[in-house]
Structure 1
Amino acid sequence: MTDTDDMPMTSPPGEASASDVARGSGVALWKQIAERIEADIAEGRLKPGARLPTEAEFAERFGVNRHTLRRALATLTEQGLVEAMPGRGTFVKEPPLRYPITPRTRFSEIVSGEGRAPGGRVIASRIVPAATDIAAALRVPPGTDALRLDMLREADGVPLTIGTHWYVAERCRDLDLIAAATGSVTRALEALGLGDYRRLETRITARPADEEERSLLALPAGRTVMVVESINGDARRQPIQFTRARFSADRVQLVVKN
């Protein structure tokens, strides 16, 4: 089927349909479709975070083939208006979440403060000998037993960051079990009497997302992650946590506050 012989289709009231595109107007159908969806986003008919219909549903609604529809969606993606998440669908892109880096950085508080629902789950946990860089960050001898905790954190169900955390195992017994039960590192540390931790150091770099990160963060190929390495300490500034977090670069805006 070609664009010239696609037949108009009907659609529910208030939704874009084949009547919104004009064949023979001199304006390519994919461009008309992109403009119609863009207008629906701008005028609030499609809200930030809303899941778009499938390609098949959109193609039927506009009365075009999927090739035409894909070109329209690709244009909207390039404009930063929609985002395709592998295995999840295509969504109206939300503005980047402002993520302040302060002496007291707390994921759940930050996400809640932005009007979104925080979520988290433990991916894996195990005791490992502290490598040289981990040991230096925690100020313990290399090879000291360290608890490694990997977590995926979300806002409104959208994955934002993968965090790998290391703790001196002897000081943080059962922290992984508490984090798994609560979905929160902060709550786990509070349960161990370490809830008043403070940021001692932050380092920020960026690189292309690897295969595992693309899978967990639902990122298409070619996307970038911001890597935030941080050390948090107790009231005596003794390190209790070293974290290497990988943020989806276009979903989060890091704000460093002095």
Structure 2
Amino acid sequence: MAASGDGSVTGGTVPLARGEGLAAWRQIADGLSADIEAGRIAAGAQLPTEAALAARFGVNRHTVRRALAVLAGRGMVRATQGRGTFVEAPPLAYPIGRRTRFSEIVSRAGREAWGDLVAAAAVPADPGTAEALGLAPGAPVLELLTIHRADGTPLSTARTCLPLPRFSGFERAYAARGSLTRAYAEYGVGDYTRLSTRIGARAAAADEAARLEIAPGRVLIVLASVNVDGAGTRIQATRSLFAADRVELVVEG
């Protein structure tokens, strides 16, 4: 296989070995894996449809689907509903320091950054959120559920809480700007810094996996962070879930 000029994958492939004890789906997965690792299929390239691959290898679509599931489990491809299956890009170096900005980090890597607002609601602060923001338990906060993308690929999904009434209507600014930093500017917050970051890991639940376009059970990096404004006031408590094989955290001194 080879990548065409538009990023899709074209061309023939090596016929499957029959009657040698190696399952067809395994041969397909190993062959595609070898092509990806050797660069014959480029990062970001779109694989042919299941039907096209089935015809090429002389197998049924179920066999192809199983092979692609194996590659997705290895973090080599990403299936996007309604768009197709794409080769994953190399992990993005993601610095964690006093000024951690998703948009800046992604842009410096030469990729396009954007944040999608999934949901927003005013809710009473749970004890953990209240402590992080220096509020009384039950104080009103604005809760945002977001997805953060690089060139359309979801890198992370997050639950962010902001104190009310200071940030009333912030969800509209975020939805329009696709960035916390740009939305903060509309509220007079010209700069903000990281007060604390806690890093953990766990498996992805089904709803989290769906937002990140990964298989349930894949490893997530969990970042719990608190940001303060220029006056040192706590303005943001976020719990971010990163697809572990899409980023490489770099902790700065």
TM over 0.5: yes
The CA deviation at 1:213 is 0.5
Taking only the aligned residue pairs, the percentage that are identical comes to 47
The CA deviation at 1:134 is 1.2
Asked if 1:21 is matched to 2:15, the reply is yes
2:78/2:213 contact within 8 Å kept = no
Q: Evaluate the alpha carbon distance shift between residue 209 and residue 71 of structure 1 in structure 2; reply closer, same or farther with a 3 A threshold.
A: closer
Asked if 1:139 is matched to 2:134, the reply is yes
2:120/2:143 contact within 8 Å kept = yes
Counterpart of 1:98 in structure 2 is 93
Greater shift in the superposed pair: 56-65 or 110-119: 56-65
Aligned pair count? 245
Q: Evaluate the alpha carbon distance shift between residue 36 and residue 208 of structure 1 in structure 2; reply closer, same or farther with a 3 A threshold.
A: closer
The CA deviation at 1:216 is 1.1
2:140/2:164 contact within 8 Å kept = yes
Counterpart of 2:222 in structure 1 is 227
1:52/1:90 contact within 8 Å kept = yes
Greater shift in the superposed pair: 159-168 or 33-42: 33-42
The CA deviation at 1:78 is 5.7
2:160/2:236 contact within 8 Å kept = yes
- The separation in 1 between residues aligned to 2:74 and 2:142, in whole angstroms, is 42
* 1:130 aligns with one of 125, 138, 154: 125
The CA deviation at 1:163 is 1.3
Residue ranges of structure 2 left out of the alignment (5+ in a row):
none
Q: Tell me which structure has the larger Cα radius of gyration.
A: 1
Task: State the AA in 2 paired with 1:52.
Answer: L
The CA deviation at 1:198 is 0.2
Counterpart of 1:180 in structure 2 is 175
Counterpart of 2:49 in structure 1 is 54
Cα-Cα RMSD: 2.6
- CA deviations on 1:148-179 (whole Å, 9 max, x unpaired) are 11111111111111111111112223211111
Task: State the AA in 2 paired with 1:54.
Answer: T
1:86/1:220 contact within 8 Å kept = no
Greater shift in the superposed pair: 78-87 or 203-212: 78-87
Q: Evaluate the alpha carbon distance shift between residue 78 and residue 165 of structure 1 in structure 2; reply closer, same or farther with a 3 A threshold.
A: closer
1:112-127 to 2 correspondence within 5 Å? 112-127=107-122
1:145-224 to 2 correspondence within 5 Å? 145-224=140-219
The CA deviation at 1:124 is 1.2
If the length of structure 2 is used for normalisation, what is the TM-score?
0.85
If the length of structure 1 is used for normalisation, what is the TM-score?
0.83
Task: State the AA in 1 paired with 2:229.
Answer: D
